[in-house]
Amino acid sequence: MTETIQPFRIEIPQADLDYLHDRLAHARWPGELPGAGWTRGMPLAQLTELAEYWRTQYDWRAQEASLNRYPQFITEIDGQPIHFLHVRSDRPGAKPLLITHGFPSSVAEFLRLIEPLVDPAEGQAFHVVAPSLPGYAFSTPLAGAGWTMGRTARAWVELMRRLGYDRYGVHGGDIGAGVSGVVGGLDGAHVIGVHVVTDPLTAANTATFLPGMADRLDPNDPVDKLILDRMDAFRTDGSGYLAIQNSRPQTIGYGLVDSPLLQLAWIAEKVHEWTDLPVDRDQLLTNVSLYWFTGSGASAAHTLYEQAHSHDWGAPPTAPQGFAVFGADETVRRLIPVPAGTHWTEFDRGLHFPALEAPAQLAADLRTFFTPLS
C-alpha cells in the first residue's frame, strides 16, 4: 500500500459520450400494460422523456466542469482506489467534515451542499472531504470482495489520517449513515461528532432487517401500525432492487453496465420513490452519468451484496450524535430511540436525499450540530 495522494480530474473521452448518445438513440423499448402507472416500475412515458433529454439536451461537459471546480484526488487504501473531493475553506475556524453518500448515489449528490458548507453566508465553515464509496464512480475498479461498511469505515479513518486531520466530524445518509457511525466508533479519539440523516421510509425499510422488530410492535397502536404497514409494503413491493443486488449482483451488473436505459431507470425510479421535493434533473443525470461512464452499477451492486452478508458493523460511536429527520412523522422517534438531549431536528419536507432536495436546510443543521463541538 502506498500513501501517495494524487490529483484527479474528470475527463470523459468524447468517444464515450458519443457512444452513450448512440445507444440512447437506438434503444429498444418494451411495451407497457395500460393503466399500470408506477405500480410495476418506471412508466414508459417518463423514462422515454428523461432518456431523450439525457441524449439531446443534458450537457455533460458543463456538469463535468462543475464537478472539476472542486479539487479531487485519488489514493489507494487497503488495495482499493479511493477517489475523493477535498474542498478547503478559507474561513478561520473551519472544521474538517467527512461526508459520505449512499445508494444509488455518488459525490454528485453533494454539488449543492458543498458551497454552503465551505463558504457559508454566516456561521461555522467546514473543510469538506467527500469520498466516493469503494466500487462507486471513480473509486473503481473494485479490487476484490469484502468491502463492507466496517472495512469502508476503516479506509475513511486512514484517509483522514493521511490528510492530517486530528479532529473532524462525520456525516452521511443511507450507506453513508452506517459508515459514518462506524467511523465514530473506530476513531473516537479524533471524531468530534456523528451527524446522520434519515426519513420515515428509510427508518421503516431498515426496520424490516432487524430481527424481531415486527414482534416488538403493537398492531393496535396507530404509530406501530403505520410502521408495520410500511415494513410490509417494503417487503412486498419495494425491496426487489435490493433483493437482486443482495443475491445476484453479477447478473444484474451485466445489464447495468451494458444498458444506459436500465442504469437510468434503476436510479431514477428510486429518486422518484424516495423524494417529495423537486430534484434538479441535470443533477440527477450527472449522478446517473457517473455510474454509466465508470461502469460502476455492477461494482456498487457487489458492495451491497457484501453488506447484506456481513456482520462487520463495528462499535457504536462514542462522540456526540446528531439526527436530521426529513419528512418527519412520529414513527422515526419510535424506531430510533435516542437519549434525552441528543441533537434531533425534524423537517416537514424532503426524504431520502436531503442533499439533493433541501441542501440549505441540511447545511444549516450541520452548522448547528457541529458549531459547539471541538
**Residues belonging to the active site:** 174, 305, 352
- The answer to whether 67 touches 10, Cβ cutoff 8 Å, is yes
Decide: helix, strand or coil at residue 68: helix
**Angle formed by the axes of helices 222-233 and 200-207, to 10°?**
70
Distance CA 371, CA 343 (A): 12
Between the alpha carbon of residue 59 and those of residues 55, 207, 209, 258, the distances in Å are 9, 40, 40, 21
Distance CA 130, CA 353 (A): 16
Cis-peptide, bond into residue 104, ω within 30° of zero: yes
Distance CA 335, CA 213 (A): 9
Instruction: Identify the residue whose cell numbers are 458549531.
Output: 371
> CB-hemisphere CA count at 13 Å for 279?
28
